Amino acid sequence: MLVVPLVFFSLLSGVCGIGNLKILGRVGTKSFALYILTTAIAIAVAIAIATSAHIGIGMNLVADNSFTAQTAPPLSEVLIGIIPTNPLAAMAEGQMLPLIFFTILLGVSIVMVGTKAKGIVAGIEVANEIMMKMVTLVMVVAPYAVFALIAKSMAELGLDLLGQLAGYVIVLVSALLVHLFFTLMIILKTFSGLSPRVFMRKIREAQIFAFSTASSNATIPVTLRVITEKMGVDNSVASFTVPFGATINMDGTAIMQGVATVFIANIYGIDLGITGYLTVILMAVLASIGTAGVPGVGLIMLSMVFYQVGLPVESIGLILGVDRLMDMIRTAVNISGDAVVSVIVAKSEQKLDQKNYDNPNAGPITQAQDLGIDYNDEKELAKIIKTADNRR
């Protein structure tokens, strides 16, 4: 019910939110390229880890009688099919790739029209807020629905499913941590030469906030404060890269989609093959662009990946019970990726104060020390930040 309108309005709002295509320039191009690169690497690493772990193999479940596993189409067919013959038909049939292509093209065209389209842009933003509210309403009911789904599955399948779910959680968390501590840090060191250890120490505040809210969008103010005050990124870069990243950079969500796809394919005994996995990578990258930064939406986006490779969408119910905790972890990974790209782009544009970056007491920590408070005390630090914001 939510997939098509949510993708359409969320992605369209994000493209229109850029406001001026010239802003994309060097900063926009670098940011976009790095966000897509990190997402593609994330999903590839996730699939590699999940396939190596063989999670879900041996269950051999069968979907309801109305479901027949589809053969994954050739990659060439997928690429050609991105351009819709009829965009309304693509929406009605739930064809996500053509929908994403059409939405991006429509958003660019609206931006090019300029001030004449202000009314349309305002309407799109309102429609996007309405869809976000609808997602919130659905997520209120979700815990009860999840209980019923898990209870039914346990009654039918016994403890075998619980064991497989534990394997799914372990593999997913492992893939998220590998991406956070290795992939992103290697990218940071390679493209900027900056210290990953300093980065991980300073990004902690934003990670904690992202973990608690499970929302990239809600964490935007905290991420901006951290990378500008603690890491020395100029606001002219940060004000673009962070909101842009919250819109299109979903490394953690892409990892979940990769691991979940392998898990469900193995449970149902469906062999996706190389072409299927390449399709999953492409779909996850494009889906991350259309994924809104609010709790729980990653599962909705997972359904379109399942559609594309021929997996039963109802099987998402098998992983719903553990998704809230996974959502919190992957959100922390998402905003870490936003910060890494912001720092790299700022360094390449000479918009990074390296003395600030290397200074362990930069930003709000200095305020804490001036007041004689232990800057490692998160509660006291939060009070100082809140007081400063109120005074401002």
What pLDDT digit, counting tens, does each position of 273-288 carry? 777 778 778 777 776 6
What share of the chain in percent tops pLDDT 90? 9
CA 189 from centre of chain: 22
| Interacting residues of 299 by C-beta distance below 8 A, sequence separation 6+ | 316, 319, 320, 323
In this predicted structure, the answer to whether residue 3 has a pLDDT above a threshold of 50 is: yes
User: Where does the pLDDT of residue 5 fall: very low under 50, low under 70, confident under 90, or very high at 90 and above?
Assistant: confident
pLDDT of residue 86: 92
Average pLDDT, the chain: 76
Query: What DSSP state is assigned to residue 116?
Result: G
User: Where does the pLDDT of residue 380 fall: very low under 50, low under 70, confident under 90, or very high at 90 and above?
Assistant: low
Rounded distance, CA 28 to CA 19, Å? 12
50-65: pLDDT as tens digits: 888 877 776 655 555 4
Lowest mean pLDDT segment, chosen from 92-101, 323-332, 341-350: 92-101
Which has the higher per-residue pLDDT, 94 or 331? 331
Q: Angle formed by the axes of helices 297-309 and 96-113, to 10°?
A: 120
204-241: pLDDT as tens digits: 888 888 887 777 777 777 888 888 888 988 877 787 78
Kindly state the average pLDDT of the residues 316-335. Answer: 79
Rounded distance, CA 102 to CA 8, Å? 9
- Which of 252, 205, 155, 143 shows the shortest CA–CA distance to 368? 205
User: Where does the pLDDT of residue 340 fall: very low under 50, low under 70, confident under 90, or very high at 90 and above?
Assistant: very high
pLDDT of residue 1: 74
Which has the higher per-residue pLDDT, 43 or 295? 43
Which has the higher per-residue pLDDT, 292 or 31? 31
Which has the higher per-residue pLDDT, 46 or 61? 46
pLDDT of residue 177: 92
User: Which pair of tokens denotes residue 260?
Assistant: 């979940």
110-143: pLDDT as tens digits: 888 888 988 998 898 898 888 878 877 776 776 7
Rounded distance, CA 297 to CA 2, Å? 10
pLDDT of residue 361: 73
User: Which pair of tokens denotes residue 41?
Assistant: 């690497």
Which has the higher per-residue pLDDT, 389 or 254? 254
In this predicted structure, the answer to whether residue 292 has a pLDDT above a threshold of 80 is: no
In this predicted structure, the answer to whether residue 343 has a pLDDT above a threshold of 90 is: yes
pTM: 0.66
In this predicted structure, the answer to whether residue 163 has a pLDDT above a threshold of 80 is: no
pLDDT of residue 156: 64
pLDDT of residue 370: 42
pLDDT of residue 68: 42
pLDDT of residue 183: 92
Which has the higher per-residue pLDDT, 355 or 296? 355
Alpha carbons within 13 angstroms on the beta-carbon side of residue 1 total 5
- Which of 220, 286, 301 shows the shortest CA–CA distance to 256? 301
